[in-house]
Chains A and B, each alone.
Chain A
Amino acid sequence: MEKVKLNIDWFLFFSVSLLLILSVLAVYSSSTFYAEYKFGEYDIFFWNHLRNVALSFTLMIIFSFFDYKKWIKISTILLLASLLLLIIVLLFGTTIKGAARWINLGFLNFQPSELARFALVLYISRILSEREQLKDEPIFILLPALFWVALFCFFIAIQPNFSTSVIIFVISIVLLFIGKIKFKYLLRTSLIFLFLGSIFAVTESYRINRIIGFFSFLNNYEAKSNLTYQTSQALIAIGNGGIFGLGIGKTQQSKLFLPESYGDYIFSIIAEEYGFIGAVFVILLLLVVLIRIYKIAKKSPTSFAFFFSTGIFISIATFTIVNSFVNIGFLPSTGLPMPFISYGGSALIINCISIGLLQNIYRNIITRKYE
């Protein structure tokens, strides 16, 4: 039978590519004013981002040729490497805004927590797919998984990066849930984490203040404290966009009104410039990406491929929801990026590599069909 030359999920490919293009435009719009103000170079963020996008896009293509099964073998190495990097970042990391989250690689401020998330998904997928060897005893899967989750969450939390720690925990639990781990175990684990997390939250005043500030904001939208400032400004950006938006490049909120307008709040700037139509378009593109990943998961040739695809699905979906909830004022500022859109290389590179791997799985599905 004649072989299909290029076995690519074109829907997935084009959705991601379109998101990357939109990301470049949005980062340009939202960062130039700040960049000019802060560094005197209006395009400094733009070129940085464009380079990261190009790199990510290339890696996405390269990794689609990289047999996903090989990842099973290096999952432990990646896990250990992540742990090492998490420790290094605590000792020697670049501190930005009071948190040591980055390792300066010269061309990139690398965020080990992103690698850790990827490694964890890889590892949990592996042990879930190896459950026969583990005699199907959930405790043999749960305990090692939880060991690593707890370890990573702890190291990330003390950076401090509480929200990333929480989101990695959530992604892991949902993945374990799909891996048929008994619900009661997951519930108990979550309660323990919740308890530990609460203790952690109240030890730092900024965290608890942010949460209290946010809930008082929900009750009274007119409240204007520094804690709710970002949320108010995001809502003004979104609301001012209206249905059709102010037009490309017409953002006003990025002129220092809305902090992190190219990062956490880039979605608000998209909503400001492209309106309801543009914002929904971005949401739909991300939905297309997620549904394609879901389809790949469903047709996965191996159990590992299924769990891995599912893990990526959960990651991207959770990040999207959390970030858009921050933008629309349903959650306080977290520092978590919008997948494929926000400025910041680490998440972008990891997400694109993930998509590359999923394309490889897709290739396996297609080839199997013709075998």
Chain B
Amino acid sequence: MDYTWHFQVVWDYRAVFVRGAIMTAQITFWATLIGLTLGMALGLMRRSQLRLLRLPAATFIELFRSTPALVQLVWIYYALPILTGLQMSNTVSVSIGLGLHAAAYFAEIFRAGVNSISKGQWDAARAIGMTYSQSMRRIILPQAVRRMIPPIINEFASLIKLTTLGSALAVYELLHEANNLINSTYRPLEIYTVLALAFAVLIYPIIYASQRLEQRWQIRQ
């Protein structure tokens, strides 16, 4: 191994990385927003006593959990337009696709969080005359959210990593920018290494924070 590293290349093209990072951040933002909103609704629906709500939610969740995210993205980008005539840009496809993907996982986190609150809390809320939504809003969710936050942060971290799947649809996120850069600079080692490190630097603190929160809240319970 007498490879001579030339990290100067990466520095020279730092603007490309910044551009990719912005795109990665944008996709992550929209996917998280879609994922949390839809996930919360799906999680609620899946807990419903009405089959009409429960069944579609369960189907959606299990479908998205049991298929690869890459296949979901490719399907939304290439197959959906043929079936419905709805053609979305690659960036929008990735944002929505990952949003739906994340929603399935957020829904399960949400459901598990709500289920983790003891039945006695529901009893007490209902006994003072609260309706379902009052109980949920005032008593159950404030307690459940605390248990949901660490897994939500974890899911957020994995969502950032999943944005690299966008390169398969030629979305200019970090990985795709890096690939393009390699084609013009012939410096894959430096560029992939920096890319990996960039993700690690970004994501490790998030995972660490989630672990710390989990520990701290476990002690308090």
A and B from one complex: no
Q: Which residues of A contact B (CB under 8 A)?
A: none
